[in-house]
Chains A and B, each alone.
Chain A
């Protein structure tokens, strides 16, 4: 029973050829070395080292205000770090990091004047793809994401879970090797959040990317990630690193009640408490 809920790593990798929108992305890892960052006198990150391996999910949990979101913005090339080095696919330049990372913010931030389809196709349009071609490409994924029939719906007509799926689709259609997810499901209710986690696990099984998942939900991090890093309170540093026992198992309910999962969650919680001090 316990074994059944686990998907071997190899199987995940080989089952992964599901036709990503912009062609299979190049395997690209993310490496953070000696990162230090401050807002004025406030040091938010002090000497952080991280590594996200290609086509794996790295979960990052930490107490609120520990600089998790800043870390994601730094990785995604939206900001330059005070010192230290961040490499996305081996490239350290901010513009290159921006080109290699797609960023999914906490709130879905769908543009309310565009139908779901055009929201999902935004990255293609920004790259100069024509409206019809961009819509065709993004529209091809709607069925798989459980959004068939809602292509032309305004964001206001969609439920919270659907909006989040469109937002994730928008991130995926950008066709970038690295996805930076900033508490992607924090705004959803508990039931929808659990559904969306299972859904994301499936989506990543068919279309694997290097994912950096920032969350304050330990269970979410452990379920979705291959490895979870626990950060301390500001200035952020790594207090613990765990490997997740049931990464993205198809049966989420079974996975999160697995004794190994529960043990890992307790270790992570203990580290979180220790780091919060």
Chain B
């Protein structure tokens, strides 16, 4: 109860202040704008309700891109982390590339990916997966390497093979690290999906935002942002819940 009280109060205060500032036109006047360009929370809420089926339809498209893209990034990240962990040579050779992959400016390559993979879900998956891949790989690799060397010796004297050491000792040790990486990944995955949709798409929240921006539908634009955040927070919460259920020893 007390844990929720302070953030809830702060949020209510911020929304209240925004409501007052927007509905009296104070922000718009200060920025020298038309009043309809600065929607109040109440207007955003009513737009959210009025456009619920449109928003839900497009949110579903974006959610699918995020989930499948995240799944691809997770699979690739785990496979890569294990490979880098098992081979010293590969780790030396490929680790700089993993870091370099993160410096690729997504906004710039997104249009190229659309040219390559078309208007469908393909380029969005690629972008989301690329964004998710990095935190999952780096965290999982750190986790695999954090194993107590004494524990590895203990497993060896208990007749464990290399793969048994990996599955019985290293993988469970790395699991909380992987969850940390995955939580960072889902939070940024949503942004990746929006970039992908901006580069070329006919549906999704990113696509809707572009349209609303062009048509000055500011209330609905904010409503899309709200739904997008809700998706990210929801997925983050699901991962945190899964972590609590699975990593019971921490």
Asked whether A105 lies within 8 Å of B158 as measured between CB atoms, the reply is: no
Q: How many inter-chain residue pairs (CB < 8 Å) link A and B?
A: 57
Residue A166, interface by CB 8 Å: no
CB distance from A19 to the nearest CB of B (A): 21
Complex CA distance for A30 and B153, rounded to whole angstroms: 20
Contact among B156, B159, B249 for A78, CB-based, below 8 A: B156
Asked whether B160 lies within 8 Å of A102 as measured between CB atoms, the reply is: no
Interface 1/0 per residue, A238-253 and B, CB below 8 Å: 0000000000000000
Asked whether B153 lies within 8 Å of A103 as measured between CB atoms, the reply is: yes
Contact among A73, A105, A126 for B159, CB-based, below 8 A: A126
Residue B150, interface by CB 8 Å: yes
Complex CA distance for A148 and B250, rounded to whole angstroms: 25
Residue A109, interface by CB 8 Å: yes
Residue B44, interface by CB 8 Å: no
Residue A87, interface by CB 8 Å: no
CB distance from B39 to the nearest CB of A (A): 50
Count contacts on A: residues with CB < 8 A to the other chain: 27
Contact count band on B: 10 to 19
Residue B148, interface by CB 8 Å: yes
CB distance from B155 to the nearest CB of A (A): 7
Contact among A73, A102, A113, A180 for B158, CB-based, below 8 A: A102
> Which residues in window 121-157 of B have CB below 8 A to A?
148, 150-151, 153-157
The 3 closest A-B pairs by CB, nearest first: A103-B157, A112-B249, A123-B158
- Seed contacts A113-B172, A155-B249; 18 additional CB < 8 Å A-B pairs: A76-B157, A99-B159, A102-B158, A111-B168, A111-B169, A111-B172, A112-B249, A113-B248, A113-B249, A122-B158, A123-B158, A126-B160, A126-B164, A126-B168, A127-B159, A154-B248, A174-B158, A180-B157
